[in-house]
Structure 1
Amino acid sequence: MAKIETDQNTPTSRRDQTREKLLAASLDVFGRYGFDGASTRQLADAAGVNLQAIPYYFSGKEGLYLATADYLTEMISGHVGDMRQRVGARMAALDATGERMTPDEARAYLTEIAQTMIALFVSEKSESWARFIIREQMEPTEAFTRVYQGIMRPMIEIARRLIGTILGEDPASEHVRLRAFSFIGGIMVFRMAHAAVLAQMEWDSAGPNEVATLRKLAVELVAVLQPVKGGAA
């Protein structure tokens, strides 16, 4: 049996690389086969590392699965984290002074979010992310809790607040919550129904020109958000 190097002289970069390989491979393997369907041998082979690396770095398959959820959260945050922090900081500044964001400013922020998310969802990198998340949506585990709390909930709550401002309604209301999910669904379809989108649009792939078209669509998705005449029922 091959030995795992646990010597204190083992370069940190090598340990980090092994861990990174396992996480990247596990995101794809767990997404395709689920927790029960993926074997530790399969996970190790996909990462190109020794089987004993899994218990050494993650204390076993379950630890690797949860670490993969955290890894996924970090990956998505790397693409939207700066934007989320910037919008959040603006909201916090307004709250501190008692001011309110204008509907036009809310539309501008929501448009930026929608354009960023659409471009991300049609990219190849998001394919393995979607598989993992869809499985957790269908049969939630602790991994879903981590992804939801780490990235999904903060983004949904920002969207709710922006949409509430645009509609002139309480962001915590049932109506705004539903409108927020309807809006988000209109963006997520470009990943969840990626094959159907390409087939219907007769696109071979989502390259720069296609992404530019979808970014224009994001502007329209925000523009159609209008206050309900007479108020929400």
Structure 2
Amino acid sequence: MIKVNNRTSQLRGDRGDATREKLLNTAIDVFGRYGFDGATTRKLADAAGVNLQAIPYYFGGKEGLYVAAAEHLASIIGGHVGDLRAVIVARLAELDAEGAEMMPAEARQFLTRMVQRMIILFVSKESESWARFIIREQMEPTEAFKRIYGTIMGPMIEMARRLIGAILQDDPASEHIRLRTLSFVGSVLVFRMAHAAVHAQLEWEAAGPNEIETLRRHAAELVTVLGAEKDRRS
């Protein structure tokens, strides 16, 4: 009988988890920079500082690593917004069970908190590699896009749609609210997808505490103006 040292087994497992994590984090950056075809397994392994055979061992090949990187990216973003998202989703579910609608003021509060968190996340250095990966998938969607959209982007947009529908007191499923939501989301995404233009226009070298506070106020203003034209007509 072979005796297994539990401590040794745990250490091997920890090393394996660390190797897998390195590959996933590196893959987001490398695939984002070079695309699927340009990101060779050698380039991926070297960038992660792991053995070339780690890719087929953990992911079955480059294709498996690519999809796993998309899932990992969705998980990372979810980790930044998951707690607030859970609170909002629970509140919406509570109202649905009661057959009630969320009041515009409450919806504005939730949307403001979410937008402030997202804008600050988007100007962070951490999100640079995410943007490159996601932009490529927006241009030429693959299975990776389905994973990102299905687990994080889609649910976040749908949640925003529910909140914007409540603010504008219109059906969240209507084409009008869907379009308003997409336009609103675009006004937030610009801080990541057009990062260089944002910094050039604002004449910022970096997003420090003062800049972050400016962005928080701007995020609140984006929500405040939602429905303003309707209020003026009333």
Assess if the C-alpha contact under 8 Å between 1:103 and 1:165 holds in 2.
Answer: yes
- Residue 125 of structure 2 aligns to a residue whose secondary structure is coil
Match of 1:165 in 2: 166
**What is the aligned length?**
224
Matched, 1:13 2:17: no
Match of 1:86 in 2: 87
For residues 44-91 of structure 1, what are the alpha-carbon distances to aligned partners after superposition, in whole Å with 9 as ceiling and x for unaligned?
A: 000000000000000000000000001001100100111111100000
Instruction: Output aligned runs, 1:139-158, within 5 Å.
Output: 139-158=140-159
Instruction: Output aligned runs, 1:86-105, within 5 Å.
Output: 86-105=87-106
* Structure 2 stretches lacking a partner, 5+ long: 1-7
CA distance in 2, matches of 1:164, 1:227: 14
TM-score (norm 1): 0.93
Match of 1:216 in 2: 217
Assess if the C-alpha contact under 8 Å between 1:171 and 1:177 holds in 2.
Answer: yes
Match of 2:4 in 1: none
CA distance in 1, matches of 2:139, 2:208: 30
Instruction: Output aligned runs, 1:66-85, within 5 Å.
Output: 66-85=67-86
- Residue 125 of structure 1 aligns to a residue whose secondary structure is helix
Instruction: Output aligned runs, 1:121-140, within 5 Å.
Output: 121-140=122-141
1:227 deviation in Å?
6.5
Which letter maps to 1:60?
G
- What is the identity percentage for the equivalent residue pairs of Structure 1 and Structure 2? 67
Match of 1:4 in 2: none
Match of 2:5 in 1: none
Bigger shift: 135-144 or 197-206? 197-206
RMSD (Å), alpha carbons: 1.5
Match of 1:195 in 2: 196
CA distance in 2, matches of 1:217, 1:151: 24
- Residue 100 of structure 1 aligns to a residue whose secondary structure is coil
- Residue 171 of structure 2 aligns to a residue whose secondary structure is coil
CA distance in 2, matches of 1:166, 1:100: 10
Instruction: Name the CA shift for 1:175/1:15 in 2 (closer, same or farther; >3 Å).
Output: same
Which letter maps to 1:178?
L
CA distance in 2, matches of 1:182, 1:155: 14
Give the structure with the larger helix fraction.
2
For residues 108-147 of structure 1, what are the alpha-carbon distances to aligned partners after superposition, in whole Å with 9 as ceiling and x for unaligned?
A: 0000011000000000000000000000000000000000
Which letter maps to 1:121?
F
Runs of 4+ displaced beyond 6 Å: none
CA distance in 2, matches of 1:213, 1:227: 21
- Residue 217 of structure 1 aligns to a residue whose secondary structure is helix
Matched, 1:42 2:43: yes
Which letter maps to 1:90?
R
